[in-house]
Amino acid sequence: MVATTAASAFFPVPSPDSVAKPTKSGNGPTNLGMLKSKSSSGALQGKANAQAPRKINGTSVGLATLPVVVKDEGSRPSTAPRTFINTLPDWSMLLAAITTVFLAAEKQWMMLDWKPKRPDVLVDPFGLGRIVQDGLVYTQNFSIRSYEIGADRTASIDTLMNHLQETALNHVKSAGLLDDGFGSTPEMYKKNLIWVVTKMEVLVNRYPAWGDVVQVDTWVCGSGKNGMRRDWLVRDCKTGETLTRASSMWVMMNKNTRKLSKMPEEVREEIEPYFLNSAPVVEEDNRRLPKLNDDTADFIRSGLTPRWSDLDVNQHVNNVKYIGWILESAPPEILESHEISALTLEYRRECSKDSVLQSLTAIPGNQDSDLKSCGEVECQHLLRLENGAEIVRGRTEWRPKYSSNCGVAGEVPAESA
């Protein structure tokens, strides 16, 4: 009795509701609590077998026999009734799986490191332009893409010219003057008139690099009775440095007859409210552009033909494409060691999709010198049809690449009284 009381202090007796299950083994300590049940007159009797306690120093120690209570089958509580709550799945497993997926996705997203390193990349990331300065100046940002740069990792002259043309059309569209046509106003569309460029002058102080963001500002001014002048100013969004200045002259041409036309009064009334009274950003170069021929040209490239992608919506070759054709006849030594610092183009005739052209280039006064070692170089150009009809006359000025040539910084003009 004493041994039983001492053992119960260290080994708690199970509750009466617990039921002991018999084991198959019949030897050793594992037989503790083995039951022999026998049914007689509806009652159950249990008998527990226990191992005899050991004696140490004359005192009995060991495990005591624990009382076992066996309940009748009829006395067991019934299972809980089947309800909607009991039939629901274990949502904790589903939530754990979803959490694991989200954590893995977040880890992969952070490993991509998509965040820009430079804050200037965030400036107008979608290139959405807007009209500023009392509705007379249009401004738009462009990020220099990888496919817009050349071998020296800077934007090409074609890229700059495409930016100028894009802002010009977006300006007309934002002002509500763009109708069906390439920059045609509603009145121009009624009279089958389109804009054509006759002269373009560009000064490049520095070419933007891959990843740079540039801001292009453009506006229009009147030029005589039948013309219009459009100017551009390109600046670095981060530093505000002026990169490029450009000025162009535009006249109207009949879309059906392909002949130049005077500006109707209805059209003038449409566009005059958007004229900005300002001086050109590029001082006009009045030097005459000579006409080249087979004898005066130093380099000739023949067999140039337009592709379908070179045509614009007016079904003639885009004027930016002419620049690429002109440079086809430029000597490779200049293309490798120099870059264009100034460009002047005079458009004489349009080019159709079936035209075959020749590109001619002359370098006056530098025939015998090493072009790579030269400082500034001037080239004269002519783009003509195979029958001799002139398309474009041009002049390019070149400077050595990576030079610290800085031009005069321009500013967006303010409307004068």
pLDDT at 3: 42
Q: Is 351 a catalytic residue?
A: yes
Q: Is 3.10.129.10 the CATH classification of the domain at 299-400? A: yes
pLDDT at 98: 86
Q: For residue 140, with 0-12 CB atoms within 10 Å meaning exposed, 13-18 middle and 19 or more buried, which class applies? A: buried
pLDDT digits (tens, 9 = 90+) for 225-282: 889 999 999 999 999 999 999 999 999 999 888 889 999 999 999 999 999 999 999 9
pTM strictly above 0.75: no
Catalytic, out of 171, 316, 338, 381: 316
**Which of 13, 46, 49, 15 has the alpha carbon at shortest distance from 29?**
49
- Distance, in Å, from the CA atom of 360 to the CA atom of 293, rounded to the nearest integer, reads 8
Question: Which pair of tokens denotes residue 67?
Answer: 């009382």
* Residue 360 amino acid letter: L
Fold match between 130-274 and 299-400? yes
- Distance, in Å, from the CA atom of 349 to the CA atom of 38, rounded to the nearest integer, reads 119
Are the C-beta atoms of 222 and 216 separated by less than 8 Å? no
- Delimit the domains of the chain by residue range: 130-274, 299-400
Q: Which residues contact 107 (CB under 8 A, 6 or more apart)?
A: none
- Distance, in Å, from the CA atom of 358 to the CA atom of 354, rounded to the nearest integer, reads 14
Are the C-beta atoms of 223 and 172 separated by less than 8 Å? no
Beta bridge partners of 137: 132
Catalytic, out of 221, 237, 351, 379: 351
DSSP states along 340-390: EEEEEEEE-S---TT--EEEEEE-TT-SSS-TTT-SSEEEEEEEEETTS-E
- Distance, in Å, from the CA atom of 393 to the CA atom of 187, rounded to the nearest integer, reads 32
Are the C-beta atoms of 138 and 219 separated by less than 8 Å? yes
- Distance, in Å, from the CA atom of 393 to the CA atom of 383, rounded to the nearest integer, reads 6
* Residue 411 amino acid letter: E
| H or E, element range at 307 | none
Q: How many residues can be counted in the chain?
A: 417
Beta bridge partners of 233: 217, 245
Q: Is 3.10.129.10 the CATH classification of the domain at 130-274? A: yes
pLDDT digits (tens, 9 = 90+) for 307-356: 988 888 767 788 889 999 999 999 998 999 999 999 999 999 988 888 99
What are the C-alpha distances in Å from 118 to residues 123, 241, 242?
Answer: 10, 17, 20
What are the C-alpha distances in Å from 158 to residues 148, 228, 323, 324, 327?
Answer: 8, 23, 7, 7, 11
Are the C-beta atoms of 93 and 131 separated by less than 8 Å? no
Q: Is 316 a catalytic residue?
A: yes
Please, what are the averages of pLDDT over each run of 10 residues along the chain (417 residues)?
A: 43 45 43 40 42 52 49 53 63 81 75 45 57 87 93 92 93 79 80 91 96 96 92 96 97 89 92 92 91 94 92 81 93 92 94 91 77 85 94 96 52 46
Question: Which pair of tokens denotes residue 172?
Answer: 């007309």
Q: Is 171 a catalytic residue?
A: no
Catalytic, out of 226, 314, 366, 374: 314
